Structure 1
Amino acid sequence: MVPQASSSGSSSFYVPVDLSRTALLISDVQSQIIARFSPEVQKAYLEQIKGLLAFFRNASSECRNNPTEPSAKNMYQNAPLIIHHVLPFGINQNAFISPYNKLASWAVELEKKGFFSDASKTDPNKPNYAVPAELVPPEGWGHKDEIILPKIQPGSLSSSDLLAYLRARDVKHVVLVGLTTIGSILGGARLAADLDFHVIIPKEGVMDDEPEINDFLLQKVLPRFVDVVGIEDVLALKA
C-alpha cells in the first residue's frame, strides 16, 4: 500500500499526501546560520527537525525493506526523499553570491563574526557544509534516500540541482523546513508553489530572527500558497 494522508474533509492538507512522492527539504539548517539563535532556541528547534528526520528515515527504511515492486523499473521503491540544502562555505567563501541580492548581506555579517573560519578553505575537495552533527545520517552520507546539495542563493529552488532531483524521484509534495522564514522558506515556498509542487510547512520546523515576522508570514502570507500545518500532522502520515 502506498503511504498516504487521510483524504477526509478533516485533513490538514489541501490534497492527500503520497509519501512515496514526498521530499523533506531541510533548507539552511547548518551550524553557521543556526548560531544566530540562543542555545536554548537552537536545542528546541533541532529536536523538532530530528523528529521529522526520524519519521522520514523510518518511512524510507520500511519502503526499502518491504518493496511493493522490487524491479529495475522501481529503483526507488516508493521511498520518500530527504534533502539537506545548504550554503557550502569553505574554499570559495560563497564568492558568487551576488552583491545585488540584498538577502545575501547576512552572510557578510556572519563572516565578520568569524563563523566561517574553517580549515576546509585549504582543501577544494572538502567544502564545509556544516550540517549539525545530530542531523547527520547515522550511517553517514551516500544513501540515495538522504542527500546533501549545495546552493549559492537563499531561495531553495533557484540556484542548485534541486529541481532535477525532485523530478527524478517524481516528487509532488515538499515538506519544507529550515532557516529563516523570511529568507529561504518564503522564497522557496513561493517558487515551489509556482512550479506546482504541493508545499507543506510544519510551523515548528521554521523560525526567524524576529518572532513577529515569523508569525505574520505563517499566519497571513504563506497559507495563501502552501499548507501551513502542525508538525504532528506530518508525523501522523501513515500507510
Structure 2
Amino acid sequence: MASPFFIPVDIAHTALLLSDVQTQILQRFPSEVQKNYIGNIKTLLDYFRTEITKRRSNKASTAGYTPYDGVPLIVHHTLPFNLNSNAFVSPYNKLSKWVEQLEKAGYFANAPSDPHHPHYGIPAELTPPGSWGNKDEIVLGKLQPNCFGSSDLVSYLRARGVRHIVLVGLTTMGSILGSARGGADLDFHISCVEEGIMDDDAEVHKFLMTKVLPKFVDVVDLQDILRL
C-alpha cells in the first residue's frame, strides 16, 4: 500500500496545529456533530500528548540532551473573539459580517474585551492534563483565519525545528484553506486530517478536501496519523 504522505513524516519534527477549534465556532454545529468532532480531536491530542511524554522521559535519561529536539509540539491557535470588542476585524473584510452574526447570536457573552487577558474559547474537554503552561502544548491568538498570517506561530515552529504540520480545525473554507495554503507557501509539509476538519456546507467541504487542497497538502485519515 502506498503511503498517503507526499514525503515521509518524522513525528519528532511534527506539530499538531488546531486552528479555530473554539467554542464560538463549534456552537454553530448540531450537538451530536460537536460531540463526534471533539472525540476525533481528543484522539489526536491523546496520541501527540503520549508521544511527547514518552520522548520527554527518554530524553531526561540522556546526558546532554537538547530541550526540544525530537519532541513534537501541539499548538492551539484561535481567534481571540471580542478582543478590544473585535476592533481587529476590518469593515472592508467580508468576515466582518460573519463576526457580526456570531455577536448577535450571543457567542461572545462570556468573552471579556480585555487586551491583557484575551479569551481563546478553547473547549474545556481539550485542556491538557495539569492545565495550561506546558512548553510542549501552547496557545496562540491570531487576527486572521490564516494561522501563518498574523501571529508568532512561525517563530515557535522554527525554534522547535518543525517541518511537518498536522492541520485540523474549523472551518474548511475558512481557516483550513487559508492556513494550508499559507503553510505550504512557507515550505512546511502540511497534512490535513479528514476527521479533524469540517464546514457548515458539506458540499464545499467535499470539494475543497478532494479537488483543491490535495494540490498543495496531504489529505489523510485519522488512522494515517495514528500510524506514524
TM (normalized to structure 1)? 0.91
Q: Specify the alignment match of 2:116 in structure 1.
A: 125
Tell me the residue number matched to 1:46.
38
- Distance in 2 of aligned mates of 1:226 and 1:103: 25
Matched, 1:212 2:194: no
Measure the CA separation in 1 of the matches of 2:96 and 2:138: 24
Q: Cα distance 1:71–1:95, how it changes in 2: closer, same or farther (>3 A)?
A: farther
Q: 1:57 aligns with which of 49, 58, 62?
A: 49
Superposed CA offset, 1:3-48 (max 9, x none): xxxxxx7211111111111000000011011101000100000000
Q: Per the alignment, in what secondary structure is the counterpart of residue 147 of structure 2? A: coil
Q: Which residue of 2 aligns with 1:106?
A: 98
Aligned equivalent of 1:170 = 161
User: 1:112 and 1:170, CA in 2 relative to 1: closer, same or farther beyond 3 A?
Assistant: same
Is residue 71 from structure 1 mapped to residue 64 from structure 2 by the alignment?
yes
Gap runs ≥5 in structure 1: 1-8
Partner of 1:196: 187
Give the drift of 1:70.
4.5
Task: State the alpha-carbon separation in 1 of the partners of residues 39 and 186 from structure 2.
Answer: 31
* Percent identity (aligned): 56
Supply the distance in 2 between the matched residues of 1:194 and 1:160 (Cα, whole angstroms).
16
Superposed displacement of residue 104, structure 1: 4.2
- Between the aligned partners of 2:174 and 2:111, the Cα distance in structure 1 is 28
1:139 to 120, 130, 148: 130
C-alpha contact 1:175 1:200 (8 A) present in aligned 2: yes
CA displacement, residues 29-79 of structure 1 (integer Å, 9 cap, x when unaligned): 11011101000100000000000000000010011000185536x111411
Change (3 A) 1:104 1:13: farther
Partner of 1:5: none
TM-aligned CA deviation for residue 191 of structure 1: 1.1
Q: Secondary structure at the match of 2:48?
A: helix
Partner-residue secondary structure (3-state), 1:155:
coil
- Quick one: which of 60, 70, 75 aligns to 1:83? 75
Counterpart code for 1:23: A
Q: Say if 1:14 and 1:115 are closer, same or farther in 2 by CA, change over 3 A.
A: same
Question: Post-superposition shift, 1:222?
Answer: 0.4
Amino acid at match of 2:199: D
For 2:158, give the aligned amino acid.
R
Distance 2:179 2:204 in 1: 17
Unaligned runs of 5+ in 2: none
> Secondary structure of 2:86's partner?
coil
Count, aligned residues: 227
- Match in the other structure for 1:4: none
